[in-house]
Amino acid sequence: MELSEQTRQSCMSCPIRHRAVCASCDPVEFERLEETKYYRTYSPGQTIMWSGDRMEFVGSVVSGTATIEKTLEDGRKQTVGLLLPSDFIGRPGRDTAIYDVMAISEVTLCCFRRKGFEELVEDTPHIAQRMLEMALDELDAARDWMTLLGRKTAREKIATFLTMIARRRSTPGFEKDDGAVHIELPLTREAMADYLGLTLETVSRQFSKLKKDGVIVLEGKRSVIIPSLPALMEEAGDDGW
Amino acid sequence: MELSEQTRQSCMSCPIRHRAVCASCDPVEFERLEETKYYRTYSPGQTIMWSGDRMEFVGSVVSGTATIEKTLEDGRKQTVGLLLPSDFIGRPGRDTAIYDVMAISEVTLCCFRRKGFEELVEDTPHIAQRMLEMALDELDAARDWMTLLGRKTAREKIATFLTMIARRRSTPGFEKDDGAVHIELPLTREAMADYLGLTLETVSRQFSKLKKDGVIVLEGKRSVIIPSLPALMEEAGDDGW
DNA sequence: CGTCAGGTTGATTAGGATCAACACAGGTGG
DNA sequence: CCACCTGTGTTGATCCTAATCAACCTGACG
């Protein structure tokens, strides 16, 4: 799975082609993208972007998981975004990052130099429109997460998180006939804690309780079986999303 | 301050002209806006938009304060956005609201029928760009608020809120010579609680403590004097924003 | 084999929630 | 004009959820 920075692959066979910022581009626009794009890979734990640093590039997550996080003076940390394949990193028009972006697993990005991308946005309406759409989607997601952080109990937070992962990641083919869903957790207990506004101990305890209550089944540390997704969603505190 | 729905005022003298979604429009574009815009006013407590309802219009807050809120099944409520003059309401491209929007004070909106506005966005690049810029700004604000909700103490939450209000609302001319800042709180204790992920009792107590500690001076319920903004920001738990 | 990252579980604490009483201002109607 | 009510805010007492502090487990890896 090693992609060097030089490797250039066709956009047409790109796994995130239909969900990423380039989703609504036409063949001509793709040509322009293919000229300027380049790949970068990061290993787990590596920092993709430091808060305060100059942002030289923007890009899309092709594979892997990354987090956007904010750290307070005294070290308290909050994860403010989870980046999965097709998600966009960086903000055109801003030249200094205001959050840290960390690779959680091995991450491959499809990058564009920021300056060039800004021009691209200006004269490629399809990209500008898609950018807006994605920004508004992320804003909705952030607001839903605000509700989780401000009002939900620890148990509800975990249930919501698992539901969200099941939505975005359920491995097709792993749904059992009885409707059970199998997911691989992309985050450690600590990273989940930072995302959910909890401590890692509380996360661990709530996993144990949900398991004891039969809402989830744990297979090892990272593998979760959800016997009944509706039952799990019941624990999440709100229907809808 | 009564504006009927029919009143049409010139965009050129509009108080939010330089910050709203129309900020970068040129004279020709303003002409088109002036043809289709209309004003609506709401009294305190009125609902501007119900979650689940069809969104017939989008628009900008011209004056007053409104909140965007999400309510869980059992009634727990989280305010996920504070709308002050120049802020935008609604999402082009979506026809059902997913949050409630409530007028806190008397609110005047500059509205556009949603369908018409969507066309406008498509063929007025200046508006599309500004929309993207504003969406990204709101996303940053939402992420900062996630950090507040997930990781800050009650005292820090209040201090952060007051700092934010001072930033956006400090009544020019009310800065005392010694650097003190005077602000009017746009929200009740309960509304602040919903915004900060607290109870109204905790909000009240923290106000009392900050007052006792000399960080703020209360004049009545809604009027706050901040003798030293840096001292207040010190209480907020993070520098920067 | 020892070390270390990641995870679990237990004991205790503390920050905010909850429950409750009261204060105060502004209306409203008799 | 006053009695009453209602919305808003303050403060106190108590409770409870999640944080903190701590011990220990497991598996991967040099």
Same domain flag for A126 and A223: no
Residues in chain B, overall count: 241
A1 falls within a domain: no
CA–C1' B205–C18 (A):
14
Q: Which two tokens stand for residue A112?
A: 């564009």
**Which of B149, B171, B188 is at the close of a domain?**
B149
Rounded distance in angstroms from the CA atom of residue B95 to the C1' atom of nucleotide D6: 38
Same domain, A74 and A189: no
| Residue of B68, B72, B77 for testing the chain A interface, max A β-carbons within 10 Å | B72
Bigger pLDDT: B171 or B178? B178
Q: How far apart (Å, rounded) are the C-alpha atoms in residues B101 and B220?
A: 28
Residue B3 lies in a domain: no
Domain shared by B82 and B201, yes or no: no
Half-sphere exposure of A35 (CA within 13 A, CB side): 8
Alpha carbon distance B172, B90 (integer Å) = 30
CA-to-CA distance for B115 and B126, rounded, in angstroms? Answer: 18
Are residue A48 and residue A129 in the same domain, yes or no? yes
User: Which residues form the domain of A216?
Assistant: 153-234
Kindly state whether residue B142 falls inside one of the protein's structural domains: yes
> Per residue in B13-56, pLDDT tens?
999 999 999 999 999 989 999 999 999 999 999 999 999 999 99
Q: How many distinct structural domains can be found in chain B?
A: 2
**B129 lies in some domain:** yes
Are residues A140 and A23 located together in one domain of the fold?
A: yes
- The answer to the question of residue B124 being in a domain is yes
Is the pLDDT assigned to residue A196 strictly greater than 70?
Answer: yes
Q: pLDDT > 90: what percent of chain A?
A: 81
- Judgement on whether residues A48 and A82 belong to the same structural domain of the protein: yes
**Residue B54: alpha-carbon gap to chain centroid:** 22
Residue B51, in any domain of the structure: yes
Asked if residues A130 and A24 have their Cβ atoms less than 8 Å apart, the reply is: yes
Q: Answer with the residue of higher pLDDT: A4 or A112.
A: A112
Sheet holding A57-63, edge to edge: A38-42, A107-113, A57-63, A88-89
* Closest by CA position to B62, among listed B100, B80, B44, B89: B89
Q: Verify that B64 and B80 share a domain, yes or no.
A: yes
Which residues of A make CB contacts under 8 Å with B?
A: 68, 70, 72-74, 76-78, 80-81, 91, 93, 98-99, 122, 125, 128-129, 131-133, 135-136, 138-140, 142-147, 149-152, 196-197, 237-240
A1 has pLDDT over 80: no
As beta bridge partners, residue B109 has: B40, B61
Distances (CA, A) of A179 to A186, A193, A219, B153: 22, 28, 17, 41
Q: Is residue B240 part of a domain?
A: no
Residue A145: its chain B contacts at CB < 8 A? 146
A66 falls within a domain: yes
Of B101, B128, B149, the residue at which a domain comes to its end is B149
Helices first, then strands: H and E counts in chain A:
7, 11
Q: Which of A149, A174, A200 is the last residue of a domain?
A: A149
CATH code, domain with B67: 2.60.120.10
A4-18, A155-169, A171-185, B25-39: which range is least confident on average?
A: A171-185
Q: Between residues A68 and A239, which one has the greater pLDDT?
A: A68
**pLDDT 10s digits, B122-140:** 888 888 889 999 999 999 9
pLDDT tens digits, one per residue of B95-112: 999 999 999 999 999 999
State the CATH number of the domain containing residue A208. Answer: 1.10.10.10
Q: What is the pLDDT of residues B198-209, one digit of tens each?
A: 999 999 999 999
Residues A199 and A222 in one domain: yes
Is the same domain home to A160 and A193?
yes
Give yes or no: residues A143 and A160 share one domain.
no
Q: How far is CA A84 from the centre of its chain?
A: 3
